[in-house]
Amino acid sequence: MKKLINAVENVLTEQLQGMAAAHPELNISLDPKYITRVGAPFAGKVAIISGGGSGHEPLHGGFVGHGMLTAACPGEVFTSPTPDQMYEAAKAVASDAGVLFIVKNYTGDVLNFETAAEMVHSEGIKVQNVIVDDDVAVKDSLYTAGRRGVGTTVILEKVVGAAAEEGYGLDACADLARKVNSYGRSMGMALTSCIVPAAGKPTFTLAEDEVEIGIGIHGEPGQYREKLRPADAIVETLALEILDDGAYKRTLREWDRENATWVERDVIDEPFKAGDSVIALVNSMGGTPVSELYAVYRKLAELCEARDITIARKLVGPYITSLEMQGFSITLVKADAEILKFWDAPVSTPALRWGV
Amino acid sequence: MKKLINAVENVLTEQLQGMAAAHPELNISLDPKYITRVGAPFAGKVAIISGGGSGHEPLHGGFVGHGMLTAACPGEVFTSPTPDQMYEAAKAVASDAGVLFIVKNYTGDVLNFETAAEMVHSEGIKVQNVIVDDDVAVKDSLYTAGRRGVGTTVILEKVVGAAAEEGYGLDACADLARKVNSYGRSMGMALTSCIVPAAGKPTFTLAEDEVEIGIGIHGEPGQYREKLRPADAIVETLALEILDDGAYKRTLREWDRENATWVERDVIDEPFKAGDSVIALVNSMGGTPVSELYAVYRKLAELCEARDITIARKLVGPYITSLEMQGFSITLVKADAEILKFWDAPVSTPALRWGV
């Protein structure tokens, strides 16, 4: 295993120490591990908190800052954070406006964030959980009930972070987050595996001429393996899975603050249609050069144009990664005026910055 | 060779088409190949133009925009651009304030940019060339007389681009660029090789437990190979080569506009010393996760602090890469008030953006 590490057991701690040295605008707690904005809590503003296993950097710690996350809770590599991390982070940054937890749909993450929400509630802090489940590649998997949470998370954190900055209340932030999630769809593929430091060997193996279509961000299996095809053909496969994905029924679980219990309701995500505007993310899984991402973007733009879908905004780069994995994912989020307004709002984080 | 490409011969063209689709604020010429800011030329402002082989993205095309480059000229992967690219780009964006060429010190780049300068001069356009030669790892190599040009280029393009935006004249821009270069030192290392598409096989091979110290950005050999050591030990090796580098005598070649000839003069780069402030770049060679870069930054910050050197500003991420190579480089540039002022100035490019 060739990695820039000292000891396997210190990988996350030393990464956080490096972030602390590089970013004095962040406060970093090492026990339990969480990252917060200096100056939090911010009176009257909802605290936006996310988290999940490490190894997907810059998600989530790189998105803590003005106009995006108030705090992030990193688990060990590809491992859910524990409820005490979210609980302590929430206590550190919660104002009287409450706390919104943004949770990618992995069983461990969902359970631990639910436990954390109950703990936070018991402290008299208003709280709500929102799940991101946008991966069209697989429904149910080894790690998930329903779709996995992937690239839409980046766009959701930006948009809802800006809304919170502007003074949206907790329920309005949660509603907006659920809208962004329901408007977002993603799919990814891998050329190579990655090595989790604690494992010391590749998560999976692919032959020299083989790729995995529909990969998850932890290297979990996708739809199928195939021989490497030209980039345009691969992009078309992923983009059409997203663009042609039909109405998708999901079950939302929401925290009922009055009765201190979880309630469920079904909602339907509508498919993309001609005339839609979208925010597009062409994301590197970590080890793919930006030059290849632009080749992907080129074909994606062509496919969107052919369906009369306008890419109103875009990100091209490594935003939700799987360590050094080579490959890419595409995320499209339908963008209405509210979403575009908050996308364009100023943001200042280690990994996303404009207008500041 | 596992890459997201269609045909080897179209790699650069399709990358540029993708950039054009993603960035309507850029104009992209495909014959000859160059990238310019929409709206150029800008009256009264020096046009800042760089270029070099592709494969180092986001350098240089990702740095075209407000407050940084006016144009970039990409050669094929790891291959110098030809003089007609720089000549046509210069004609497209030159105002009466003239053109500054920023050139990394590789023999082909230097010669082709000198030829381009003579062609531009013959059109009656004021022109000056500045060489970046900041790599302390090797003096003279297969591709270079003197030190190679690496990470300082990123910082120089930001600083001088901001100065041009603010109205610095051509000679003032050239002087500032030479100061930044003389204040900058870099060194890199590789964990893995990369594959140039046209070659189809790795540029070099390293054993499973072996790394290359002092690598160039084209995979050209460095100082030595060694067994992989802990990250802290590797960082210390690179950082101390930079921090302990003595006075370095270089020969500047400048275009004498009056006599239409090249003149040479020797200058001395002074070493770093206690009390200096620096801009630090911890750069991924392309395939190294940002989490490992923060582990590098952690140790670098500790070493700088121990020598009473203040990291006043920093960048952590992939800025001057070698395709999918795993590894990193460190760049330190002594930062005086003028350099910091222009570093902090607004910038809006595909790869660097703030304040806009």
Nearest to A231 among B6, B291, B296 (CB): B6
pLDDT of res. B95: 97
pLDDT of res. A219: 86
What is the mean pLDDT of the segment spanning B101-107?
A: 97
Position B141 pLDDT exceeds 70: no
Q: For chain B, say whether A294 makes contact (Cβ under 8 Å).
A: yes
Position B36 pLDDT exceeds 70: yes
Chain A 73-112, residues with CB within 8 Å of chain B CB atoms: none
Answer CATH for B12-183+247-270 from 3.30.300.340, 3.30.1330.40, 3.75.10.10, 3.40.50.10440: 3.40.50.10440
Note whether B302 and B175 are within 8 A (CB).
Answer: no
Catalytic residue, chosen from B23, B56, B60, B66, is B56
Spatial distance between the Cα atoms of A245 and A139, rounded to a whole number of angstroms: 12
pLDDT of res. B136: 96
* Residue of A4, A321, A329 best to disrupt the B interface, most CBs of B under 10 A: A4
CA distance B31 to chain A (A): 18
Note whether B313 and B162 are within 8 A (CB).
Answer: no
Quote the mean pLDDT of chain A: 97
As beta bridge partners, residue A202 has A195
The percentage of chain B sitting over the pLDDT mark of 70, rounded to a whole number, equals: 99
Closest residue in A to B232 (Cα–Cα): A6
How does residue B222 score in pLDDT terms, banded at 50, 70 and 90? confident
Note whether B73 and B61 are within 8 A (CB).
Answer: no
Q: Which residues contact A148 (CB under 8 A, 6 or more apart)?
A: A104, A105, A106, A133, A134, A135, A137, A138, A141, A216, A217, A220
Spatial distance between the Cα atoms of B318 and B282, rounded to a whole number of angstroms: 8
Nearest to A61 by CA among B293, B25, B355: B293
What is the mean pLDDT of the segment spanning B97-121?
A: 97
Q: For chain B, say whether A200 makes contact (Cβ under 8 Å).
A: no
Q: Which residues contact A259 (CB under 8 A, 6 or more apart)?
A: none
Spatial distance between the Cα atoms of B299 and B311, rounded to a whole number of angstroms: 13
Tell me whether residues B230 and A316 touch, CB distance under 8 A.
no
Q: For chain A, say whether B17 makes contact (Cβ under 8 Å).
A: yes
For residue range A121-164, list pLDDT tens digits in order: 999 999 999 999 999 998 776 667 789 999 999 999 999 999 99
pLDDT of res. A218: 92
Spatial distance between the Cα atoms of B112 and B79, rounded to a whole number of angstroms: 11
Q: For chain B, say whether A283 makes contact (Cβ under 8 Å).
A: no
Q: For chain B, say whether A237 makes contact (Cβ under 8 Å).
A: no
pLDDT of res. B143: 66
Nearest to A3 by CA among A290, A302, A323: A323
What is the mean pLDDT of the segment spanning B9-21?
A: 98
Tell me whether residues A18 and B348 touch, CB distance under 8 A.
no
User: Packing angle between helix A83-93 and helix A107-122, nearest 10 degrees?
Assistant: 40
Find the length of chain A: 356
Q: Is B60 a catalytic residue?
A: no
Position B120 pLDDT exceeds 70: yes
Three-state SS string over B27-79 comes to EEEECCEEEEECCCCCCCCCEEEEEEEECCCCCCHHHECECCECEEEEEEECC
For residue range A59-83, list pLDDT tens digits in order: 999 999 999 999 999 999 999 999 9
What is the mean pLDDT of the segment spanning B290-301?
A: 98
Position A246 pLDDT exceeds 90: yes
For residue range B157-188, list pLDDT tens digits in order: 999 999 999 999 999 999 999 999 999 999 99
How does residue B138 score in pLDDT terms, banded at 50, 70 and 90? confident
Spatial distance between the Cα atoms of B103 and B89, rounded to a whole number of angstroms: 14
Position B140 pLDDT exceeds 90: no
CA distance B288 to chain A (A): 6
For residue range B50-79, list pLDDT tens digits in order: 999 999 999 999 999 999 999 999 999 999
Spatial distance between the Cα atoms of A286 and A321, rounded to a whole number of angstroms: 5
Spatial distance between the Cα atoms of B326 and A4, rounded to a whole number of angstroms: 10
* Residue of B1, B4, B290 best to disrupt the A interface, most CBs of A under 10 A: B4
What is the mean pLDDT of the segment spanning A202-210?
A: 94
Q: Which residues contact A291 (CB under 8 A, 6 or more apart)?
A: B11, B15, B54, B55, B57, B323
Tell me whether residues B19 and A353 touch, CB distance under 8 A.
no
pLDDT of res. A294: 98
Range from A188-197, B143-152, B168-177 carrying the lowest mean pLDDT: B143-152
Tell me whether residues A298 and B355 touch, CB distance under 8 A.
no
Terminal CA-CA length for chain A:
40
How does residue B145 score in pLDDT terms, banded at 50, 70 and 90? confident
Range from A186-190, A266-270, B298-302 carrying the lowest mean pLDDT: A266-270
Q: For chain A, say whether B30 makes contact (Cβ under 8 Å).
A: no
Provide CATH 3.40.50.10440 ranges for chain A.
12-183+247-270
Q: Is B56 a catalytic residue?
A: yes
Q: Which residues contact A261 (CB under 8 A, 6 or more apart)?
A: A255
Spatial distance between the Cα atoms of A146 and A249, rounded to a whole number of angstroms: 10
pLDDT of res. A143: 66
Catalytic residue, chosen from A56, A60, A66, A121, is A56
For residue range A209-234, list pLDDT tens digits in order: 999 999 999 988 889 999 999 999 99
pLDDT of res. B295: 98
Position B142 pLDDT exceeds 90: no
pLDDT of res. A141: 66
> In chain B, which residues have their Cβ closer than 8 Å to the Cβ of A295?
4-6, 11, 14-15, 18
What is the mean pLDDT of the segment spanning A106-129?
A: 98
Q: Which residues contact A179 (CB under 8 A, 6 or more apart)?
A: A339
Q: For chain B, say whether A54 makes contact (Cβ under 8 Å).
A: yes
Residue B234 half-sphere exposure toward CB, CA atoms < 13 A: 33
Provide CATH 3.30.1180.20 ranges for chain A.
187-243+273-334
The domain made up of B187-243+273-334 has a fold known as: Hypothetical Protein Tm841; Chain: A;domain 3 (3.30.1180)
Quickly count: other Cβ atoms within 10 Å of residue B192's Cβ.
23
Tell me whether residues A57 and B289 touch, CB distance under 8 A.
yes
Position A307 pLDDT exceeds 90: yes
What is the mean pLDDT of the segment spanning A41-62?
A: 98
